[in-house]
Structures are given as structure tokens and as C-alpha cells.
Amino acid sequence: MIRPSTRYLLVFLLIGGCVGTADFAPARSLTPEEAFIWSASAPVTVFEPGDRGEIRLILTIAEHHYVYRDSVSVRSEPVPGITFSDPIYPEPKLKYDKYEEKEVPIYEGVVDIRVPFTVTGPVLQEGIPVRFTVRHRGCSPELCFFPAKRTLDLSIRVGGVQPGTNPAGFIPIEQASDRRPDLFSKGLFYTFLVIFLGGVGTCFTPCVYPLIPITITIFGTKDVPRWRAFTLSVTYVLGIGVMFSALGLLAAGTGAVFGSFMANPIVVGVVMLVLAGFGFSMLGLFEIRVPSAVQARLASLAGRGYGGAFGMGLVAGVIASPCTGPVLGTVLIYVASSGNLFLGFWLLFTYALGIGTLFIFLGTFSAAISYMPRSGAWMEHIKTIFGIILLAMALYFGKSAFPALGKLLKPLPTGLIMGCVMIVLSLPFGTIHRSFHGLSGIRRVLKHFGIVLAVFGLYLSVGAFTTPPASLIDWLADEQTGLDRARAAQKPVLVDVWAEWCAACIELDRTTFRDPRVTARLQEFVTVRLDFTRETPERGQLQNKYNIPGLPVLLFYSRSGEYLPEASLVGYHSADELLAHLDKIAHSNSE
């Protein structure tokens, strides 16, 4: 049996042996990732354009380790709308380095590096992603590690920009397939005015015009007080508006899928065929008609009074579909491509108001019916004009997907003159005043030829207003060719990134790049123009290379061939603004 004193001695020796063994056990060496840890943080403040802030980059160094000051570097990738200043490093301390056998500046412990920035704008989202590349070379008491590189990602919160807005005409790349210089690019007032006038014009087609006095008589606006005649007429038009607006909401609600395919030439080709089919229908080659049994059933639903007037309005557009269908279908196609419920409802309601204007006027002042021109061949002429317009719209709609169509267009005044001449030359061939009904032989062929002339004449005339004139600047289309030429000539480089669907890009070319002061100044630069109109692998590579979120963007290289990300210009800029920016670049390069 072991005595208590002996027992305590054994426990003491056991503990001492364990401690002694621990003291002599080799310590585990830290890996470089464990010894040198980088982290980054951005302010939680929401910055406005023009505000300044700082990003903190923290390097945490393990005990008994250190990092050479000269090896520490911080580099930020260019971010449109954010300008970074030079990093601010803390003061190092001197340490005798047994490897270099001299005192060298080093960092130990926690290294706090600050990177000031300024929000210059414009920006397209609240959380702006930022990426930093950091480098260092550190040592432990036993060895020195290989130089290391890390990437740090964070975001800066920026306010003052409403979601979906694009300052100075800036268009995000992801919206490229939905942006083209069509009906909607002219503004809401222009859009609604055109749709309203289209409805008014539809009234004078042979499917609608003869129905006006008959319809007014059926729902009873004669021999009633004028206020009742007015309210009955308005109720009838509201019926048309409700029906058309419901179709507009349906088209817009399902058009998100439709719109995402609108950059596909096959889809655009199908839409062009639909528009062309509507156009040929208006020209009388065939008719889009609701079966007579359906028409009779719809007509039987209507009656007298307000209920009858509203019911007749609901079915009026359907019954008159041979003439309203092509125009209505064309509007629905544009609404579907926008995917906008607001446009879907109110554009179709506006079209209904255009159709109903004459109904309201004549329903209120029924005596005015006697002053209206009688039905006749002139209404066929109206249909022909509508058909030509629809065929020209089909060409105009497809020019963004089919470059050959776009190349036919000429700028003002050349394009407008050519188009007007073609329209005038088409008239003697019976383009408008002759109907296909009863035509045969050479006259039918001549009318076909006249329609072709008129369609292309109208296409050239309208397209002239959206086609920029020939550039006064010698643009190179290839980036590498431009950089090589600039390097050989020791010139700076201006790169204009543009697209046909970018309205601000076109405006920049029409105004800023045509200013004599700008064209003269750019003689000192090698000028490159990158076309981002269509999605291509090359566009994707350039977009990633320059971190381009949208258009228009101007990029710059120095005389030495160095890319200047901080000098990039985003959005539309006037001639004075561009000249001032060029002066600033020249001044900074000379320092």
C-alpha cells in the first residue's frame, strides 16, 4: 500500500513530466494564410454623388511574424461613378533583418490602410461592388514566405439615384435587347399622340366609317337631350376602351417573355411577318375577318340605353376587326415588347379614345352627320395608306436585328429627299387611287411596284430622322489597331463605346462629336469606336476588360499607352464638358 506522502510525490512527478514534455514538444508552424489575414470594410453610410468616404483594408499579422513595408500594395479595380485616391499607409517601424543584415521598415500586429474615395456619379444601383487586389511578403522567425496576392470584395452604398433611371441617357447593357429607337423612344407625349391619331385615322377606314351613323342610331342618341346623347356616346367609347385596355394589359403582362427575345433575328423576323400580314390585309390582298356567326352573336348582346351602349362598345372593335385588327395588333406588339403595364393599359385606352372621338362628336351633335362625306372609294385609299405605313413599320422594326436594312437608311437631308422622291414616283402607278379589286395584268403589276416604292420611300423618309450623318472623325473600328497606331505615333487614345439602340450615343455623335472645336482637338488623339449594338463574344470580352455597365462610355489611354480608368466618362457630355475633360487629361499627363 502506497503511503500518502509517496502518492503526492508521484502525482507531482507526473505533472512535472507532462509539463516538461510540453515544453520540449515542437510548436506547429503557421501557414501564410493563417499568419497574414486581410479583411476589408466600407462605411455603412449611404453616399450621394459628390460625397467622400474611406474604405479600410486591415492586415492582421500573427505574433512573431512581420511584413516588409515595401512589399505591401493596394490596387483598386476601376468602378464607373467612383474615383479612388491613393491609399494611405500607416507608419512602419524599423527592424534589424538578419536575412538582409540591415534595418528595414516592417509592419507587425494590425496594419490599418485607408483608401479615400469620391462618388462622382452617375451610378445605377445602391450597392456598388468594389474589388481590391492586395499584395504582401512576410516572414516568420524561421523563414520568409513567397510573395502573396489576395482579392477583397465589398460594396459602397450610394443613394440619390432612383432604380430604373439612367442619368444623362445612360443605358445599362442588360437592357440592350429592350432599347431601340422606336415609337417609345420619343417620349410619352409623342407616343400617346401617335396612338391617338392612329385611332382617329382608323375611323375613316371602310370597316368603321359606315358604322358610325348606324351605331349612333342603334344606341339611341337621336331625339334625346344633348347631355344624354353625350353620355351615351361616352359610355359607348368607354366600352371600346375597356375591351382594348384589357387586351393591352394582357399583352404587357405576358410581354416580359416576349421582350427578352426581341434581340433574336428569328423572333424579329416573325414580328415583321405579322406586321407585313396586317399591312397586306389593309391593302386588300386578303382580309382578317371574324366569322359572321361570332359577329352576329356579339351584336345580339347589345341593346338600347347605357348598358346597350357600353355592350356595343365592348364588341365594336372586334366586329370591325378587318380594319381595327391590323392597327390594334401593331400597337399590341409594341406594348408586348415593352412589358410595361402602364403603357399596356393607357396606350390601348388612348387608341380607343381616338376611334371614339368621331362617335362622341357625332353622337352629341347628331345633326352633323348630314355634313359628313359619303362612303366611297376614298375610304379604300385610307386603307391603302394604312397598309403602306404598316409595311414600312415592319422594315423599321427589323432594322436593329438585320443590319442590311439599317444600311439602306441615309441621314438628313439625303434620306428624306430620296424617300419623298420615291413616294411621289409611286403615285402614277396607282399606289393609292387604284384598288386591287378588279385589277389584272400589267395594272396589277404596276400597283405592286408602286406599293414597293412607297413603302421604301416612307421607310427612308422616317429613318432619315434617326440616322446619324457621316462622322467628321476618323474612327477606327478595332481596339488593338487603334492602340498599335497610338503607340507608334505617341498619341493618346479616345475609345467611344456606343450602340444603335443607345439614344444618348447617337446624340453624342450628332452634337458633341460634330462641334468644330472637338473635331479639331481630337486630331491629337487616335479615335476608336467600339460597336456594342449586338451581343457577340468580342463585346463580352471588352465589357469585362473595361468593366462597362452601360452606354455611352468614353475611355482614354495616355500617350505612353497606359489605360486611364479614372478618366472614363459615363453618359452624355456636351462639347464644352468634353473639351474641359480633355484639357484635364492633358494637364495630368504633362505633370
Least confident interval from 19-28, 313-322, 415-424: 19-28
Cβ(106)–Cβ(92) below 8 Å: yes
What type of residue is 385? I
Reading phi first (left if > 0) and then psi (alpha if -120 to 50, else beta), residue 122 is in beta
Phi first, then psi: what are they for 571, rounded to 5°? 90, 180
> Mean pLDDT, to the nearest integer, of 569-586?
88
Architecture (CATH level 2) of domain 32-157: Sandwich (2.60)
Q: Which pLDDT belongs to residue 154? A: 87
Q: Which pLDDT belongs to residue 24? A: 38
What type of residue is 395? L
Q: Which pLDDT belongs to residue 27? A: 46
- Kindly report the average pLDDT of the chain as a whole number: 76
Tens of pLDDT along 441-453? Answer: 898 899 999 999 9
> Mean pLDDT, to the nearest integer, of 407-432?
92
Residue 59's alpha-carbon distances to 65, 74, 75, 106, in angstroms, are 12, 11, 15, 13
> Mean pLDDT, to the nearest integer, of 117-129?
69
Name the nearest CA neighbour of 212 among 383, 435, 384, 368: 368
C-alpha cell belonging to residue 436: 386591287
Q: What is the spatial distance between Cα 343 and Cα 214, in angstroms, rounded to a whole number?
A: 32
Give the global pTM: 0.44
Q: What is the dihedral of CA 437, 440, 442, 444, to 10 degrees?
A: 30
Tens of pLDDT along 276-292? Answer: 887 787 787 766 555 56
Which of 19 and 270 is assigned the larger pLDDT?
Answer: 270
Which of 280 and 113 is assigned the larger pLDDT?
Answer: 113
Query: CATH for 479-590?
Result: 3.40.30.10
Enter the DSSP assignment of 145.
Answer: P
- Residue 220 CB neighbour total at 10 angstroms: 17
Most confident by average pLDDT, 253-267, 315-329, 394-408, 567-581? 567-581
Residue 118's alpha-carbon distances to 84, 367, 450, in angstroms, are 7, 70, 62
Q: What is the DSSP string of 424-473?
A: HHHGGGTTTTS-STT--HHHHHHHHHHHHHHHHHHHHHHHTTTSPPPPSS
User: Do the bridges between strand 493-498 and strand 526-531 make them parallel or antiparallel, or are there none, so unpaired?
Assistant: parallel
